[in-house]
Chain A
Amino acid sequence: MKKRFPFWTVGLLGILLLILVPVLYFLPRPQSKTNPADFIPEKPVHVDHKDIINGEFKTGPDVTRACLECHEDAAAQVMKTTHWTWESKEFDVPWRDEPVTIGKANQINNFCISAQGNQKKCMSCHAGYGWEENKAYDYTKAENVDCLACHADMGTYGKGNYGNPAEGVDLLASAQSVRAPNRENCGKCHFDGGGGNGVKHGDLDEGLYFPQENLDIHMGGEKNMQCIDCHWTKDHQVLGRMLADNYTIDPKEQVSCEQCHIDQQHKDERVNTHLSAVACQTCHVPALALEDPTKVYWDWSQAGQEGREDDHFTYLKIKGEFVYEKNFAPTYLWFNGNNEYRYILGDPLGEDGITYINKPAGSMEDKTAKIFPFKLHVAKQPYDVGNNYLLAPITAGEDGYWTIFNWDTAFELAQTRMGLAYSGQYDFTTTYMYWPTTHMVQPADNALQCDSCHGENGRMDWEALGYPGDPIKWGGR
């Protein structure tokens, strides 16, 4: 039998192995690292709907019905999301006997305070059509799902009163423009929340439509990332939960840096020793509202002054006094991803003069908590002196506060529309609302460095965080 390979080839192979194996073993090799960009979801190939969609659309639901002809499950999927319900799942909270839900549908914040009763304007950010005051909203009506809000080219579409398409929108053109959502779809509501550019978040504003790398390394960097590249979406379920509209959040439902940045340790061992106590955002989101200012203080008690000149950044008659800030250091708190408290309508005011709309959970003793950056929004907002709870004025509409500047009427209207009893006596109290900041991540070069937090000029209030003193001297946890 003739051997297929002569014997000497085996020998040669052995020799080569004998040389290569030790060489490869001893060669210095760079540590293998996963590439975060590999985790950016692949988007389905775009299907141009220009030739698919035709017909005459008079109303939003007309369009939705057309969408549902092919995308049969789409509305049902959307209707499960908070984009539609505006209400969280039920939570058992220790300060209430009954389970509660939280959302714009039924709770308040310390910006415009209440969407309830103010549907006319507020619903322009609801992913549906025709939600009106004084009418129970039909959450089961599939044709009311607004597909265009997230899928239309925002150059063709806009929302008006009660969440219906704005007047003058060419619905056919909008419907033909549909595609995967981009930053402009999300940004329309999430960049302008609170009534204007950058008002609410401090880490989300219109600068992110066309960001530079120095504004946001993800969206302005070479990957030109879209919101849904991190807020992974499946069956219309968008990953990521808004802290203020929840009590606890399952980490599985939350976006995290680690979903793409897997085992990416810093080169510097000293930096890595921080990771057990410091969130990525703390160093990599060193400042808020980098270019466009955000609102940090809102005093409703000054609203309604006759003759005082309006100025977008300091005073509006309908809203009161504000303070906007730009490029400032966040507030740092221990945070485990949940709320320790979320104000539920009817809850009494805080005892120390401050009522928390939400209070992030976590402490130095909580091993799951890390130091995390927040935007703190402080407000002076109305409360019921008799009932000792926060009030939710009706602002929009005919008899709303913004029209007739009468607080009593605004609260009485709320009593009828929302059932929030009004004793007839109101005053203003200080409220705190915490917004976790996680966008506008900076290039590594701009991250905080040691002396940003440690030493004489450091930005951390160590003792408030529970440390005996600067951990560089007193030790960490």
Chain B
Amino acid sequence: MKRYSFFLLLGLFILTLAIGFGSVLASPVPAPDQQISVLHPNFILLDADGVNVLDSGKSVSTMRTCGQCHNTEFIASHAFHSDLGLSDYEISTESWNSSRGLFGEWEPLTYRFLTQNGDERLDLSTAEWLMLYGDRVVGGGPATTSRDGKALTDLPMSRNNPETALLNEDGSASIWDWNKSGTMEMNCFLCHLETPNTRARYEAIRAGQFGSANTATLLGLNIVSKSSEGWVWNTSAFNENDELKSEIIGIQDPTNANCATCHGEVHSDSEQALTVNACDLNYPQTATTGQVIAAQKINESGINLSDKQTLNRSWDVHAERQLQCTDCHFSPNNPAHALEIQGSSPSHLLYDPRKLNINEYLERPDHNFARGASAQFNVAPEFKSTMRRCESCHDTNKSHAGWLPYNDRHMQVIACETCHIPKMFAPAYSTMDWTVLQLDGSARTECRGIEGDNTTTDLVTGFQPVLMQRTDIVDGKTLLAPYNLITSFFWVYEDGFGNLRPIRHADLEAVYLDNDGYAADILSAFDTDSNGKLTENELVLDTAAKQDLIAGKFKALGLKNVRIYGQVQPYSINHNVVDNKYATRDCEVCHNSESRVTTPLLLSDSAPLGITPEFVAGVNVTATGGIINKDGSLYYNPVNENDKTYIFGHNRNAWIDWFGALLFLGTIVGVAGHGTVRYITARRQRGRAVETKSVYMYEAYERFWHWLQTIAIVVLLLTGLVIHRPDLFSAFSFRNIVVIHNVLAALLAINALISILWHVISGEIQQYIPHPYGFIDQMIAQAKYYIQGIFNHQPHPFHKSKERKFNPLQMVTYIGLLGVLLPLQGITGMMMWLVQKVPSIQTWFGGLPFLAPMHTLMAWLFASFIVGHVYLTTTGATPLEAIRGMVTGYEEVEVHE
């Protein structure tokens, strides 16, 4: 008896263990964590007919189930994630895009064209579109509804309708029965479960079992399992009221991991080393921009980055500081975030406290989440720029105070991201070349930021985004912002109705491939080393012969007007922000002959011959630069002058610099020649003494004013030169030189104003005002003196006295200098400074691109004047007498009878 019970117990024990292990291995139970809402009640799972799934055994209907409390109709109709462009689906003869979302917008990265009703050839039918993009389609919208708003299940079935057809491998079309496959409702579980089974869901979608995709999301959570009969609901997950226990399903606010499912690489566990695949379209955001959302320090990741040890900063400072995706991309009617409906408040009202209460919000949460204005996502453009931007949270005046000169001006032209996302460290696509086909049916691709293709074994270098003009949708401001550019090349043809269409993938395969290898004529045309294989280098349409061959083969397939099309799509980079410590801070990065602003970006290493791609239209990014071809490689070359910006130290007007330099050198040569002749003649006439007397020529204030002005102008010229050519004077701190320049300019202006007052009050102003009568003659006389008399040691034609210090030529020069040149220089300088405070100045006479070169020109004139002026001081009674006079006040002047 005892023995029996022992064995019985042992058996039971082993059985329990086995079941325990089995269930642990088969289905990991999610550990509930604090994210999971403790508020969420238990709830009944309903099928599409509104019957408890425990009774019906059918697939769960999220719309019905969640709709018991939440207004799922409202949510689905306020969710661009669900809509994906269906609501603005419209066929146009001008564009091959039939919408602005994933459903209808041509996407050359994945390269399948959603066939429009009436197209000649069937490419992607609705069903296949869903199978192809299923892991990024949340359901609802085009997954349940036809293009004209009917339920997909109600459509009359026809193989000629792309909504109810499917392209077979042999090129024929078959009918797709939506009633058999079911349609895919908006899948609430996908974003609101801690561990949705995305893999099982995608497998169901791939298999065309759209109706079971949402239920598949629950597989492995101990709620439901699959048998040959259908779904088997696990009753232990339900309570006595047949309600699913809330703690088992774990409903929560969407976490970063939920968003990552579709968007890109998100890494929340800093203890685990982050790794990414290079250019992996399963992580679209990372593959297209290199953005990685992770708090981990870059040098603690598992990526083989060059200079990795120095990268002691997190991938994204906002992730590091524990911001969630939903903190910025929130539901616009979430009372916690309380986004004001733009323009709807009276202007006197700073804050409107009337918000939804939490119950109202939970019933009808708006799922048109706040978002930026990226260049790559165009669905529901009316919701672009609804999120708070950097400056909504950060006060740039405070954060840049004390070190960034011209803060306001920088903010007027540069987006925060430009300096605060200086570099991307994950690789991203640069080129997607579908004009050729690899053996596995994929395109020839190029990936930037990596030397090779494996981020753990090849060297990852990262890349600098290119800066382009981004126009804000709300305030219309245009700022320089960072982008990645992906260039795609593909063949297009004109179909029987004259519509331009990308050539179908099936036709590409027909042209390039033959059974499991390349077609013989393709091999002989491309295989330059004749080894029977096509490497990536060989697989490029770099000759007209190759292009003709392919075009000819397309023609043979009945495709008309075949040609290669190239397009450049900018991808906005807004994540991977770094804090002040790692942001671009050196002025010289931009203010230099090699400026960050105009750094070109390689578009494509080897582009098809003769194809210059075009930037996609209809986005808020303007490419003001040009695409250049250098040895078969294409570059985008930004040209900042086209943006009406003038970057000190980078932009220069060569004509002005040449003119100024010649003038300056000419003056030096002139005075040197004049001085030499004077010296020679003076030696010949040595001994002819001139009678002089000492005169108190300059009052203390005059001398003070003069020398202050002298020092200020000289320092201004020198500092101006550094600002103009920082590349030649890199020893100086650009920032400090700018400050010194500004301070001295202010001093010079104050000095000039006070001196005008003094001259007017003391009447000394008269010194500068010529008496018109005979003035021309007097000028000629003075000029003749400089040309002839001075060499013959003749006396000065005009007597210099305290009352009349200036000869006629001096008067004219000083009027020009002090009355015209100095004020003009001051005004242009002041306006350049004021641009940041009064942005409208930028629109006056061409703004900085006009003001700055003018300022430079006048600086050259000043420099030349100083040379002449200093030389002419030596023409007094003795060479140094005039300078002595300006220093001490007393000057020996010639005695004239």
Contact = CB atoms under 8 A, between A and B. Distances in A.
Q: Do A and B actually bind?
A: yes
Interface of A: 6-8, 11-12, 14-16, 18-19, 22-23, 26-28, 267-268, 270, 445, 449-452, 454-457, 472
A22 B750 CA distance: 13
Nearest to B310: A445
Contacts of A18: 708, 747
Contacts of B708: 15, 18-19
A23 B700 contact: no
A451 B743 contact: no
A16 B34 CA distance: 67
A353 to B, nearest CB: 28
B297 A454 contact: no
B322 interface: yes
B322 A472 contact: yes
Contacts of B580: 267-268
Contacts of A11: 700, 703-704, 707
A105 B581 CA distance: 52
Given A22-B747, A28-B402, A450 B295 contact: yes
Contact of A451 (B34, B320, B715, B887): B320
A27 B707 contact: no
A26 B739 contact: yes
A447 to B, nearest CB: 10
Given A8-B888, A28-B403, A15 B704 contact: yes
A445 B297 CA distance: 10
A28 B736 contact: yes
- A-B pairs, top 4 by smallest CB distance, nearest first, are A451-B295, A445-B312, A455-B322, A15-B708
Contacts of A19: 708, 711-712, 715, 744, 747
A5 to B, nearest CB: 12
Nearest to B405: A28
Contacts, number: 80
B704 to A, nearest CB: 5
Contacts of B700: 7, 11
Contacts of A6: 888
A358 B534 CA distance: 74
Contacts of B813: none
Given A19-B712, A456-B268, A12 B707 contact: yes
A20 to B, nearest CB: 10
A8 B698 CA distance: 12
Given A270-B321, A455-B268, 7 more contacts: A11-B704, A15-B704, A19-B712, A19-B747, A27-B739, A268-B580, A449-B314
Given A19-B747, A22-B747, A267-B581, A449 B297 contact: yes
B35 interface: yes
Nearest to B272: A457
Nearest to B403: A28
Nearest to B296: A451
B33 interface: yes
Contacts of A8: 703, 887-889
B836 interface: no
B579 A268 contact: yes
A31 to B, nearest CB: 9
Contacts of A445: 312
8 contacts: A8-B703, A8-B888, A19-B712, A19-B715, A22-B743, A451-B319, A452-B270, A456-B268
Interface in B35-51: 35
A474 to B, nearest CB: 12
Contacts of B736: 27-28
Contacts of B314: 449
B775 to A, nearest CB: 34
Contact of B270 (A7, A23, A451, A472): A451
B740 interface: yes
B157 to A, nearest CB: 49
Contacts of A267: 580-581
B320 A449 contact: yes
Task: Pick from B33, B269, B402, B708 the residue with the most CB of A within 10 Å.
Answer: B708
Contacts of A23: 739-740, 743-744
A457 to B, nearest CB: 6
A106 B789 CA distance: 110
Contacts of A15: 704, 707-708, 711
B442 interface: no
Contact of B743 (A26, A268, A450, A457): A26
